[in-house]
Amino acid sequence: MFGAKKEVNKSRAWKRLENHYKSLRKLEMRDMFKKDPQRAERYNVSLESMVLDYSKNRINERTMKYLLTLAKECKLDERIKEMFAGDKINITEHRAVLHTALRNRSNTPVYVDGKDVMPEINAVLAKVRKFSEAVRLGEFKGHTGKKLTNIVNIGIGGSDLGPKMATEALKKYWGKDIKCYFISNIDGTACCEVLNEVDPETTLFIVSSKTFTTIETLTNARTCRKWLVDALGEPAVAKHFVAVSTNTKEVEKFGINPENMFEFWDFVGGRYSMWSAIGLSIAIAIGMDNFEKMLDGAHTMDLHFKNTEFSKNIPVILGLLGVWYNNFFGLKNYAVIPYDQYLTYLPAYLQQLDMESNGKFVSNNNEYVKYGTAPVLFGGAGTDVQHSFFQMIHQGTSIVPCDFIIPAISHNEVGDHHEILVANVLAQGEALMRGKTVKEAAEELKKAGKSKEEIDFLKKFKSFRGNRPSNTFVIKKVDPYALGMLVAMYEHKVFVEGVIWNIDSFDQMGVELGKQMALSILPELQSNASGVAHDSSTSGLIKLVKSLRK
């Protein structure tokens, strides 16, 4: 069980890696490739049609040996078993962590407090299937008898980012008359822009809130409810709203038929919840058969993570590389760049997964950590981002490890678009690794006919230091199965890092303070009440906003 142990930065393996880093830090990857013709094969691992090439990293055999030893010293194998067994590894909230049970396609028993949770999970999946098919077939109709074709998911955090990312990623699989919309931001613009797009007679709202008290979600839901009632009357609520929640009393009070409430559990954190009934919007959009294929893909990655030796284990390798760069190179940024338009929202989804999970400064020993935890994750779809932040990645003073993701087959094979896209992603990885020396830049300028004065001036500007690490993932196609594998892979990668850093990757205490303080400020904005002492800046800003709103 997770608990007190010697801090990882005091372990023998950590000290060994610190010394190893000193001997490795000046080695150039381009030289490593020259000396080792088999390097790409050695640092390459696959799972079915997914291939990870991690040869463009600043590592050698000794690096991987020491990192794998670190994983063993941190008892990663035991931590993995505890998670899959339903042990309460979320120690601050005393909860099991069983998003893996949601996609347990083997249907082997999984116990929490002595009770097998699989029958309940299967029952909810069956309910999601029945309802999603009824909506898609037009059997569950709106108040006026019309088919519900506009699906509006109202949630925030994992209740929004997961379904939004997955539905966009799988847009090619949507029902022909289905359109999906997402409302999460408390900014009224987010709500109004969606309501301006949809027809009340054909719109289904899914309110996703475990407690049915989340202020952003419930405020947006009430605004949508009023819009619907103004158009169709109070009885329409029961035909146009469903809930993903555990609070039956509040759901009924809102006007939602409790038969249309879909349950999920405390052992499912928000950022790990799209595999549950939180994925209802996904199931309606792409159909339950495709939703289950997504679960199948995730389960395949779960079994790989659980059963594969660490040296060939994709999430373990990724997690260890993350620790290597964060804690030994001191690199605090990390980029994920999918070269597929449908994966546009993947980096935003992974931001929450990574930074909400591992952005912690207290260890499981109840001590402040003295080493880096979660890096700042950013990204976007290639090739767009080549014209935004890639300048910094190639020539900036900060080194940013990158994950490149590319499908071999596009859903939209138009002309030579996809070949150009693939050429770009492969070129980026090679360019980051190889770079261009000042001498090479000077030779290029000379061939271009530049004068000696121009060459002397421009050669440094045209040079690239290179030796910048990246991973390249090649998948066959962005289909439901592949997406399930990809997302589960990143979930487990984050878990590996959390185990090494000895932190609780499954709570989110850092989300709470700002929300608590917002509740104290809200009455002051709505009236002249002031029962809370603020700093002079906050008090002045409250007065300013109120004066501008008069």
Task: Kindly state whether residues 365 and 474 are assigned to the same domain.
Answer: yes
8 A C-beta contact, residue 315 and residue 496: yes
Runs of H (alpha helix) within 176-311? 188-195, 215-232, 237-240, 248-254, 280-286, 288-307
Task: Kindly state whether residues 500 and 523 are assigned to the same domain.
Answer: no
C-alpha span between 300 and 273 (Å, rounded): 18
Give the pLDDT band of residue 531 (cuts 50, 70, 90): low
Residues 506-537 as b/e (b if ≥16 CB within 10 A, e otherwise) read bbbeeeeeeeeeeeebeebeeeeeeeeeeeee
Q: Which two tokens stand for residue 249?
A: 């009393």
Task: Kindly state whether residues 140 and 269 are assigned to the same domain.
Answer: yes
- The CATH number given to whatever domain includes residue 236 is 3.40.50.10490
Residue 154 buriedness (CB in 10 A; 0-12 / 13-18 / 19+): buried
182 pLDDT higher than 60: yes
8 A C-beta contact, residue 154 and residue 191: no
Query: What is the average pLDDT value for the chain, to the nearest integer?
Result: 96
8 A C-beta contact, residue 175 and residue 132: no
Q: What is the pLDDT of residues 359-395, one digit of tens each?
A: 999 999 999 999 999 999 999 999 999 999 999 999 9
Q: What is the pLDDT of residues 258-284, one digit of tens each?
A: 999 999 899 999 999 999 999 999 999
Average pLDDT over residues 331-356: 98
Higher pLDDT, 66 or 526: 66
Task: Kindly state whether residues 139 and 264 are assigned to the same domain.
Answer: yes
- What's the pTM value of the predicted model, to 2 decimals? 0.96
Domain count, the chain: 3
Task: Kindly state whether residues 135 and 220 are assigned to the same domain.
Answer: yes
C-alpha span between 545 and 525 (Å, rounded): 8
Task: Kindly state whether residues 249 and 316 are assigned to the same domain.
Answer: no
pLDDT, position 2: 47
pLDDT, position 112: 95
C-alpha span between 361 and 355 (Å, rounded): 12
pLDDT, position 175: 97
8 A C-beta contact, residue 154 and residue 220: yes
pLDDT, position 5: 65
C-alpha span between 19 and 22 (Å, rounded): 5
Q: What is the pLDDT of residues 412-434, one digit of tens each?
A: 999 999 999 999 999 999 999 99
DSSP string over 274-330: TTTGGGHHHHHHH-HHHHHHHHHHHHHHHHHHHHS-GGG-HHHHHHHHHHIIIIII-
Give the pLDDT band of residue 1 (cuts 50, 70, 90): very low
68 pLDDT higher than 70: yes
Active site residues: 356, 387, 515
Residues 365-394 as b/e (b if ≥16 CB within 10 A, e otherwise) read eeeebebbbbbebbbbbbeebbeebbeebb
- Domain assignment of residue 297, yes or no: no
Average pLDDT over residues 321-345: 98
Please report, in angstroms and rounded to a whole number, the separation of the first and last CA atoms in the chain: 57
3 pLDDT higher than 60: no
Task: Kindly state whether residues 230 and 279 are assigned to the same domain.
Answer: yes
Q: Which two tokens stand for residue 385?
A: 């981002």
Instruction: Indicate the pairing of strand 44-47 with strand 50-53.
Output: antiparallel
pLDDT, position 380: 97
C-alpha span between 333 and 345 (Å, rounded): 19
Q: What is the pLDDT of residues 24-51, one digit of tens each?
A: 999 999 999 999 999 999 999 999 999 9
Q: 403: which strand partners?
A: 336, 471
C-alpha span between 353 and 390 (Å, rounded): 23
pLDDT, position 532: 76
- Domain assignment of residue 461, yes or no: no
354 pLDDT higher than 60: yes
Q: Residue 400: give the domain boundaries.
A: 8-73+308-434+468-507
Task: Kindly state whether residues 144 and 22 are assigned to the same domain.
Answer: no
Average pLDDT over residues 394-410: 98
